[in-house]
Amino acid sequence: MIHVENLTKRYGRRSAVQGLSFTVKSGEILGFLGPNGAGKSTTMNIITGYLSSSEGTVTVNGHDILENPKDAKRQIGYMPEIPPLYPEMTVQEYLRFAAALKGIPRPARDAELRRTMGMVRIEDVSNRLIKNLSKGYRQRVGFAQALLADPPILILDEPTIGLDPQQINEFRTLLKSMGGNHTVILSSHILSEVSAVCSRVLIFNRGRIVASDTPENLVRGVSDHNSMLLRVRGRESEVRKAIESCPGIRNVTILETVETGTVELSAEGRKDADIREDLFKALSKASLPILVMKPADSTLEEAFLSITGDDKEQK
**Same domain as 172, residue 27:** yes
Q: Are the CB atoms for 127 and 51 separated by under 8 Å? A: no
**Same domain as 290, residue 156:** no
Task: Tell me the per-residue pLDDT of 209-257, one tens digit each, with 9 for 90 and over.
Answer: 999 999 878 876 665 557 889 999 999 999 999 999 988 788 899 998 8
Task: Tell me the per-residue pLDDT of 86-108, one tens digit each, with 9 for 90 and over.
Answer: 999 999 999 999 999 999 999 99
Share of the chain above pLDDT 70, in %: 94
**Domain count for the chain:** 2
Q: What is the pLDDT of residue 14?
A: 92
Q: What is the pLDDT of residue 303?
A: 76
> Considering just the CA atoms, what is the radius of gyration of the chain in Å?
25
Question: How far apart (Å, rounded) are the C-alpha atoms in residues 68 and 81?
Answer: 25
Task: Tell me the per-residue pLDDT of 153-212, one tens digit each, with 9 for 90 and over.
Answer: 999 999 988 788 888 888 888 888 876 789 999 998 778 788 888 999 999 999 999 999
CATH value at residue 231 = 3.30.70.3190
Q: Which residues pair with 264 in a beta bridge?
A: 231
Q: How many other C-beta atoms lie within 10 A of the C-beta of residue 107?
A: 7
Expressed as residue numbers, the domain containing 287 is 225-296
Q: Which residues pair with 279 in a beta bridge?
A: none
Report residue 298's pLDDT band, with 50, 70 and 90 as the boundaries: low
Residue 310 has pLDDT above 70, yes or no: no
**Same domain as 113, residue 66:** yes
Report residue 312's pLDDT band, with 50, 70 and 90 as the boundaries: very low
| Residue spans of alpha helices (H) in 74-105 | 91-101
**Domain closes at, from 191, 221, 251:** 221
**Domain closes at, from 202, 221, 240:** 221
Residue 19 has pLDDT above 90, yes or no: yes
Report residue 313's pLDDT band, with 50, 70 and 90 as the boundaries: very low
**Same domain as 167, residue 66:** yes
**Same domain as 187, residue 231:** no
**Same domain as 161, residue 42:** yes
**Residue 20 domain flag:** yes
Residue 12 has pLDDT above 70, yes or no: yes
Count CA atoms within 13 Å of residue 268 on its CB side. 10
**Same domain as 244, residue 109:** no
Q: What is the pLDDT of residue 314?
A: 45
> Which letter does DSSP use for residue 244 in this model?
H
**Residue 163 domain flag:** yes
Residue 271 has pLDDT above 90, yes or no: no
CATH value at residue 201 = 3.40.50.300
Mean pLDDT for the chain overall: 89
**Same domain as 25, residue 101:** yes
Of 51-55, 212-216, 291-295, 298-302, least confident by mean pLDDT is 298-302
Q: What is the pLDDT of residue 218?
A: 82
**Same domain as 279, residue 214:** no
**Same domain as 214, residue 65:** yes
> Model's pTM, two decimal places?
0.76
